[in-house]
A and B are shown apart, each in its own frame.
Chain A
Amino acid sequence: MEALLTAAFLSSLLTGAIVAGIPLLLAGLGEQMSEKAGVLNIGIEGMMLAGAYLGFLTAWTSSSIWLGFLGGIAGGILVAALMALLCVVLRLNQIVIGIALTLGVEGMTALLHHFQFSRTYPRLPAPDRVDLPFLTDIPVLGPSLFGRHPLVYLALISVLVLAFLYRRTNLGLTLRAAGEKPAALDVAGGHVIAIRSAAVLFTGGMAGLGGAYMANIGAGLFIPYMTGGAGFIGIVLAMLARGRPLWVLAGALIFGAALSLTTALQVAGSNIPTDVIQMLPFAAVMLVLVIWGRRARLPAALGVGYERGAR
């Protein structure tokens, strides 16, 4: 048990919660915008994976982690553009297309990885960290919470920006209208297809960034299928958050902390069976679903394609 009481270990646990939570936060925030605009973006897992691959490829070839993040955003947007074309413009089934895109990206990135990296498995160096003055001096908590890569702070700031956007701006209102009553938005002069397409592209960018964070910061390398369902957890977080970015943040951190806790319990040599310990993060999500899920309210036109004049 004494292994758990060292500053280094507690610090690594908090760090683990953040490292695991940030990709979920970015994906969840992206998914939230799609859902607000009425598009159920099941393809987010594929967008994350495309972002992880292109983000790593860019970071590796340019030796710049920031260019890597831009590459990740581009990768996510590339897949999202297909989703927007097929589901928003052509009104094909959002669930079928989302799953198909995810499977397609899984196969494509595995194939590309095989030809590019499978003989060398290149790895990135440890990421730079930015220490926030004074705050990093706080014992244990300081280095873990306030000595992170700058993207962590940008992700947290984006929560506030999106909360402001949804609550205080016309754009936020327009997004909600596209998801609740797209016909009314159309009558009012709004362009439903454009708004929904932009929301899907934003989702792709955020999911791609989350994937790039996972590859470049979380792992330091790209491995096929490495997102391992993180995109689907992002969808759950967005649905539970009922349109509130702060709730997405809370959910992502709870899940990340639960993941980190599983490691802590095992390293402590707990006698609880590993299978039970491994269930904790998923049990936490299910618990949240049971408590708050019933009150979750989804946009009225979610998942329904919009066609002007159709009844």
Chain B
Amino acid sequence: MRHLLYSIPLAGLLAASAMAADVNSIAILTPEKGSDFGWNQQGVDSAKAAGEATGVEVVVADGLGYGDVRAPMRELAAEGVDLMIAHASGYNTAAPEIAQETGVPVAIVDTPDGLTEGLIADYTLSGHEGAYLAGRLAGKMTTTGTVGIVVSGEPPSWNSQSAGFAEGVKAENPDVKVLYAVIGPAAYSDAAGGNRVTTSVIAAGADIIFGQGNGSSFGMIQAVETNKATDGSDTLFIDVIGDKGSLDKGHLLTSVVWDMTPVYTAMIEDLKNDTFGTTGYAISLSDDSVKLLKTPQVDAAAWDEVMALRDQIIAGEITVEPVFDAEDVRSLVTVTE
């Protein structure tokens, strides 16, 4: 009888461990090389960090382009990975299909309604709170009274940052004009377009550019480096997602840096606990998965004020709601009367 009593909790323990899924390896698939100082690099670096933290092997399949990703996903599934992170909004159609076909769970972006328990999870991330702070900083530091937003596309996560930036600028100083320009439809690699559009926005009066563009953002940076503002001052650039500090020639004001390590770590834990696909994932200021980069170009007093605002957001005293729709972004920028 005593043996029977001992065996009950032991059986429960064994059953629980059998229920928890084994996660030995995960894969991340990115459209461009993981060396773009932005979305792709942050994704790859964060996946590696999450793998290291959880003892899981990470397979990197980068530079896959924006086309059909089904073939490499089938290969990875055949290799036995336990999770495929499809790190591009362009993979949102193929990845769920492959998940259904192979039974290997996938994580996709920009599809909050696409959850399927045990199979498909979404991580539509938004750095809107960080972008709001960047907007407050731009509002304090603009000398022409005009700032610009230049984007190479309008995916939901970028829209929320554009909106957050515009809201931050207006909250700081309602008189500051916010210009908004999209380079072209999915012009993620159009560096020449980034340069051309940014040059026009600077010529229209902007002295601080909030740029979201993948490869095209380097064209924006080149434009900022080679064009003075209309009042003769240096123009400044605010980057997103990655840290381009090592490439800076004195024009990088700040960057809304994302760290996706907590997101991918949570995905792995959810897989282990059989709760994958039941909820989405987010990044926030509170755990520094969203933070502003401090550069030598930032005014010290303005930085301190912005950090105080950060604390207020974390404390819930200031609320910044994410805005994912492009139409709503345009309603926040300066419109012709």
Residues of A within 8 A of B (CB): 1, 3-4, 6, 8-9, 11-13, 15-16, 19-20, 23, 110-111, 114, 118-121, 123-126, 214-215, 218-226, 228, 259-260, 262-264, 266-271, 273-275, 277-278
Contacts and interface: CB of A to CB of B under 8 A. Distances in A.
A1 B216 contact: no
A260 B189 contact: no
Interface majority SS on A: helix, strand, loop or mixed?
Answer: helix
Contacts of A23: 192
Contacts of A267: 148, 179-181, 200-201, 204
A143 to B, nearest CB: 11
Interface stretch (B5-13, B33-41, B263-271): B33-41
Contact of A269 (B32, B179, B195, B197): B179
Interface residues of B, dominant DSSP: mixed
B191 A219 contact: yes
B42 interface: no
Contacts of A269: 179-180, 333-336
Contacts of B225: 123
16 contacts: A12-B203, A16-B200, A114-B63, A124-B222, A215-B191, A219-B195, A220-B222, A224-B33, A224-B189, A228-B193, A263-B181, A263-B200, A267-B179, A267-B180, A269-B335, A271-B336
Contacts of B184: 228, 259, 262, 278
A220 B220 CA distance: 10
- Which bracket fits the contact residues of B? 35 or more
B219 A278 contact: no
Q: Which of B37, B180, B190, B327 has the most CB of A within 10 A?
A: B190
B222 A274 contact: no
A19 B181 CA distance: 18
Interface in B126-157: 146, 148, 154
A123 B218 contact: yes
B192 A266 contact: no
Contact of A120 (B200, B247, B337): B247
Contacts of B221: 123
B196 A11 contact: no
Interface in B204-230: 204-205, 215-216, 218-219, 221-222, 225-226, 230
B199 interface: yes
Contacts of B333: 269
A218 B200 contact: no
Given A220-B195, A267-B181, A3 B247 contact: no
